[in-house]
Amino acid sequence: MPTPALPLSSHIAAANSELEGLSAEEVIRWTVSQYGPRAVASTSFGAHSAVMLHLISRVSPSTPVVFIDTGYLFPETYRFAEQLRERFQLNLHVYTPQMTGARLEALEGKLWEQADDGVERYLFLHKVEPMQRALEDLQCVAWLAGVRKEQTDHRGSLPRVAVQDGRLKVHPILGWSTDEVEAYMAAHQLPLHPLYHDGYRSVGDWHSTLPTTPDMDPRAGRMLGKKQECGLHLPLSDEEEESLRSSGL
């Protein structure tokens, strides 16, 4: 899979040093000033997605925003996405899997209910591959992502600027706590995902997302409790790299 020509590893430490102590808005502004239209953001239109989308709309409203529609999202998620798209006038790019859910289920069954290999294949086909296709189509060299250290062990180990699959990965709100997120939302009157108060504190596909209680990790309800990470924010495995190459990306 071709990767953009970027000044990567030798510049990561310098970039992290430069951005240390800066606000989320300043980090977004730095990224856009460095990479222009080739800086791309992503969103899941999840529980707290309005935060990053509001920040982007204030700093750089023309920035492309990628939304992966797996075909299995809750109806509330689709309506929430349209609400935020209109409110923030997002430059939204919606990507879907190359194989429909109906066809995949007919040929391979409900992968998300199968063993680890089935779950991994489902996540690759319905999330990872469409995201990689979007990044290729948009000629992305810098990816703005709203992940936070509190969310998973992997995210807790990330720096503010990293490299993932040959692209710069920038995390403007990486260090924000849940309290800071909620305070920002209150200050700017931003909406939570409509299912949040029904216990869906982390929202994915309808077939494999479970509500959680306050004493549980919010992401314990994702993929029926089998996975905290959907794969989008993890480096590609060798098998995934080969799959993408064979698909023409």
Q: How far apart are CA 163 and CA 193, in angstroms?
A: 30
Tokens of 105: 């289920």
Mean confidence (pLDDT) of the chain: 86
> Mind listing the domains of the chain with CATH numbers?
9-247 (3.40.50.620)
Q: pLDDT at residue 217 above 50?
A: yes
Instruction: Identify the residue whose tokens are 């209150």.
Output: 186
Q: What is the pLDDT of residue 231?
A: 59
What residues are labeled active site?
230
SS3 130: helix
Q: How far apart are CA 158 and CA 193, in angstroms?
A: 26
Q: pLDDT at residue 55 above 50?
A: yes
Highest mean pLDDT among 142-146, 160-164, 186-190 belongs to 186-190
Residues with Cβ < 8 Å from 226, sequence gap 6 or more? 116, 119
Residue 211's pLDDT band (boundaries 50, 70, 90)? confident
Q: What is the pLDDT of residue 2?
A: 39
CA-closest candidate to residue 132, choices 166, 90, 105: 166
Q: How far apart are CA 132 and CA 140, in angstroms?
A: 10
Q: How far apart are CA 142 and CA 231, in angstroms?
A: 18
Strands 64-68 and 39-43: parallel
Q: pLDDT at residue 19 above 50?
A: yes
Residue 6's pLDDT band (boundaries 50, 70, 90)? very low
Q: What average pLDDT score do residues 85-89 get?
A: 98
> Of 14-28, 84-98, 148-162, 184-198, which range is least confident?
148-162
Q: What is the pLDDT of residue 4?
A: 42
Select the more confidently predicted residue: 240 or 95.
Answer: 95
Residue 147's pLDDT band (boundaries 50, 70, 90)? confident
What does the pLDDT look like over 29-40, one tens digit per residue? 999 999 999 999
Going through the chain in order, the beta strands assigned E by DSSP cover: 39-43, 64-68, 91-95, 142-144, 161-164, 167-170
